[in-house]
Chains A and B, each alone.
Chain A
């Protein structure tokens, strides 16, 4: 700041959040004594409209060239006050936040005097920082108006349809052979009992027919480079061995396949599929895929190629099983198909990779997957589904008998920090109620027990639904946790407690359904690394702010939707998918994107090109210029975290408006006697 500093300090009460602990008047008074401060005041809610107006008016009245707002965390209102300053004609980057709520008032709730002193120190230090703040202008970035959606469940489908509807192209990448996700596996959906075949398949068809959606099933994201508005993505199109464009979906090849004993992924191992298979009847695309690990022909060819066995005769003279190819009318099966890498360029990415259920092996007290008649809730969905292996009348896996006593177990692994996960999986109370009801519809003389800790039914029509279920005859809700499940003869014994009557309960059941905790889908960790987006301790993707920016990740241009973020029901998933799509559409609607200018900057006179900063950068924003041997910061990729500046041995790398001179001056002020 070349001119003489004229700084204004605005101390917020935040109701009683700050003023209840800190003597805000004193903070303002002390601030006024700092050299360079020409004005200071307090206000009850600085972020409110009159509070912001106070800042704007003061900037104009006192000709302020720097502003310090002492309030809450900058992640909440830094942008608010920078925008306010801009409206008053002051460069927004001359505004800084002194956080006296999260860093002072809250942790020092019981020591107001110390808190007030600490607040004054922080305000002083921030004033020193602002004195050396420069004015900057945001960068402009061009944007490639195509989107990539990763994951073809209901979240990915909804997001793709919304973006396409707005007129932009979408690449929808799904790793399994068909889109549809977990939803299409369900029997019916709570609380309205719509079947997914009725409400999801039309959307799946819309996806396949929309000319703006490029559907890439049986494909996975290989690598991602670039930045907001200009991502370059490599997609691995896994070898399907069937020509998607010319296949008629008749299924003759599937009928011909002699390999019949592979546990079906869709039916969660309750039925078997063939080596060439169509995932389910409503699959989109309705095209089979050959499982190369089980196909006789392909495993033989692989062994020959690896030199493990020798081909017994000349190629072409003896046929190793090609029954599917023989059965195929349009001749679209190609055993020589290979994985292909396709490169696409997009401006925005939505991650909608969904969830999995905690594996049974992680629940040893409930049999650990060793008891055939203890199944997870998705398997029971298949048994209840009219399109499932038992056509809607549940039959238990061990002997195919219709179970007359079924026990439903809530919170299997959820809300259990010692053995499973600490969080609530949110949807289990509802789907177990639904499953109990559907079970009673299918087996009217059956007996159902539902063990629960609490019933969490907080959605529109949810509590009414649960009450309706609980009124059913021979359907008993037991409040208590199940302690142990074990086999006794052909029965499954469930031990639990009924905490309402204080009794120990033993039930000899025919079938037990566990609501295994929801966990992030397989591969989420690898994807997070490719996209450089953070996950929480369990592996769920983190939004930029839990409350205010739940759809955006910290990496600009990458959004999240659905259960990839945290367990969600279909309603919330679809809402969030549309929300993420709206974020992408609003990004695409602008001619140019703007990007924060407060990023790392290299003094090329000092930089020796050692590359330590490059190693540190989590965003891949730093390269070393091979000719000049200096670091180069990619302005679009840099998120301004400052890791590079911290490690730079020569001080060549500096963070704008938080350079080492400013930091040292702030430390000096903070450690001064007061």
Chain B
């Protein structure tokens, strides 16, 4: 029986990370999950507002929770790490500050309902690990990922602050376990929680290019052929900024960056045209063909 799960996409998943959304829907479908996109979802807030007493910055994420309540559901599935972080932190904040929740509800007076902190924000990786389970994933594999060595890169948004972390803050393993379930070889990337440079990518490409060079360089030294992530911003920085990294560091060697869902879709035997490799700056296809996976 198909399980419908309320799904919050966020802006990136409809634009630059469309391939993340598409492949996520594919792999969820393998386990009979259907993404039920929330009606009238709005911006997640993009960056979590750190000022504790200015609740204006929390209205946008909290308002999305109302959409879940309106469809009579209890949880909200998120793919983008940035959205996940903003939504879950705002949720954590209003659960702990009932007085601030009242203010936010007052601001949203035109809404038909009020928020009570009851919605759970769930990341797809949590769903895969805790609900579907790696055993089922293992059984669904049609094309085991032999011949490639993968590095899993988490960045910060799935793990920090610790109150909302989906895994160990310092030594997460959920993506490594996933790759192993897919029959792939995975390294324990030593810099998997380091910063990708984040929004510096807008004004200071040099900083992000250096971070990209560093992170991919460490992954190379440990023997990785490709790197997976769950964050569209990390993906953008690590993929697109390889161009600048190459200019600044002549020794730099390119590496394909994939969303973990693309790797899953590959292992589950979906066709090449479904995997969404076109928008990548560093095309993963030559590597995958060389290793006999495409």
Contacts and interface: CB of A to CB of B under 8 A. Distances in A.
Contacts of A364: 168-171
A488 interface: yes
Contacts of A370: 171, 188
Interface residues of B, number: 9
A489 B218 CA distance: 10
A486 B169 contact: no
B73 to A, nearest CB: 35
Contacts of B170: 364-365, 368
B221 interface: yes
Nearest to B170: A364
Contact of A368 (B171, B190, B218): B171
A225 interface: no
B191 interface: yes
A489 B220 CA distance: 11
A487 interface: yes
B169 to A, nearest CB: 7
A486 B194 CA distance: 12
Contacts of A488: 190, 218, 221
A560 to B, nearest CB: 35
B162 to A, nearest CB: 8
Contacts of A368: 170-171
A488 B191 CA distance: 10
Contacts of B169: 364
Nearest to A366: B170
Interface string B167-204: 01111000000000000000010110000000000000
A488 B194 CA distance: 15
A474 to B, nearest CB: 27
Interface string A469-488: 00000000000000000111
A368 B172 CA distance: 12
A156 B171 CA distance: 40
Nearest to B190: A486
Nearest to A493: B190
A498 B95 CA distance: 39
A389 B221 CA distance: 33
Contacts of B168: 364
Nearest to B218: A488
Contacts of B188: 370
Contacts of B171: 364, 368, 370
B158 to A, nearest CB: 15
Nearest to A367: B171
A637 B170 CA distance: 49
Contacts of A486: 190-191
For B169, B171, B188, B221, the residue with the greatest tally of chain A CB atoms inside 10 Å of its CB is B171
Interface in B150-176: 168-171
A368 B169 CA distance: 12
Interface string B54-82: 00000000000000000000000000000
B190 A489 contact: no
Interface string A99-124: 00000000000000000000000000
A370 B187 CA distance: 13
Nearest to B169: A364
Interface string A489-504: 1000100000000000
B221 A487 contact: no
**Sorted from nearest, which 10 A-B pairs have the closest CB atoms?**
A364-B170, A486-B190, A364-B171, A365-B170, A368-B171, A487-B190, A364-B168, A488-B190, A488-B221, A489-B221
Interface of B: 168-171, 188, 190-191, 218, 221
7 contacts: A364-B168, A364-B171, A365-B170, A370-B188, A488-B190, A488-B221, A493-B190
Given A365-B170, A487-B190, 10 more contacts: A364-B169, A368-B170, A368-B171, A370-B188, A486-B190, A486-B191, A488-B190, A488-B218, A489-B221, A493-B190
